[in-house]
Amino acid sequence: MLIYKTAQELRAYLERTENADKQVGFVPTMGALHQGHLNLISRSVEENDITVCSIFVNPTQFNNADDLEKYPRIPERDFELLQSVGCDAVYYPDVNDIYPNGPVTREYPLGEIVEPMDGKFRPGHFQGVATVVHILLDKVRPHRAYFGKKDYQQLLVIRRLVEAENLPVEIVGCPITREDDGLAMSSRNLRLDENQRRNAVSISKALFWIRENAMTYSVPTLIEKGREMIEKDTGLELEYLEIRHANTLTELTEINPGTPSRAFTAAFCGDIRLIDNVSLFR
């Protein structure tokens, strides 16, 4: 596996004569990799000739400086994991290679999907995500790029970005990878202490309960009971719990099998913010 610190070096590798006609798959990450990331890599390896992974903790998508500072960074372990699943090349830039004139955020026409949920509670977050993803796609120029559905709103934002900028890449959304007890895998899970980790599973339990009872209770009741499951005796603080249209993210007042629907939540374990979501109809 090859590791490149600059986009120039990466491009030289991808433009070698022997690579000229090969399909390139790309998995952008912020490192601290877990099995969810490795599943994305494995799918890219299966579907493409060359797989590139980037590791870059992007400052423009953090609206909390403390969260940026504490984000886990373990590159040597990440490199070992990537090599174990067949990744061909890692783009591991510093900030100057991504933002040569200093970190800046572009404003993209992303529409109403950036307004609710994470868009409401993390102002500017999705413009920061769109900015860095656009930069990375321009540098790597993949045929396909892979993103997990745990960050479901982000996935829709990236698809909107690709449409708005007419970028020649297929965006592939991949299923959420979960721990044995149901907790969605996240790099931030590394920061949970033993008690927080035990309580964090209430997030996925509430979402699964909502899915199983979606046709039994009204939307307000589903949310009320889900909120109680997340917060009661757990020490967790709910930021939001909402049921929305899976394609447009418009808020739903009722649920029916003909409407693609998802339940979304974000909650704090101390100062550690975790997000999750489930489709209400499998």
Assess whether pLDDT exceeds 80 at residue 235. Answer: yes
| 80 pLDDT more than 80 | yes
Task: Indicate the domain borders of the chain.
Answer: 2-174, 187-279
pLDDT the model gives residue 70: 87
Write out pLDDT tens, residues 237-271. 999 999 999 999 999 999 999 999 999 999 999 99
pLDDT of residue 65: 83
User: What pLDDT shows up at residue 63?
Assistant: 80
- pLDDT tens digit string along 7-28? 999 999 999 999 989 999 999 9
Radius of gyration of the chain (CA): 19
pLDDT tens track for 92-136: 999 999 999 999 999 999 999 999 999 999 999 999 999 999 999
* The pLDDT value given to residue 184: 98
If one counts every other C-beta atom within 10 angstroms of the C-beta of residue 223, the result is 20
Residue 185 has pLDDT above 80, yes or no: yes
CATH level 3 topology of 2-174: Rossmann fold (3.40.50)
- For the cut 80, the answer to whether the pLDDT of residue 233 exceeds it is yes
Q: Is the pLDDT of residue 90 over 80?
A: yes
Catalytic residue among 37, 125, 143, 245: 37
- pLDDT at residue 279 is higher than 80: yes
Residue predicted with more confidence, 63 or 32: 32
Annotation says 37 is catalytic = yes
Is residue 64 scored above 90 in pLDDT? no
User: What class is the 187-279 domain?
Assistant: alpha beta
Contacts of 102 (CB under 8 A, 6+ apart): none
Residue 272 has pLDDT above 80, yes or no: yes
What is the mean pLDDT of the segment spanning 45-63? Answer: 95
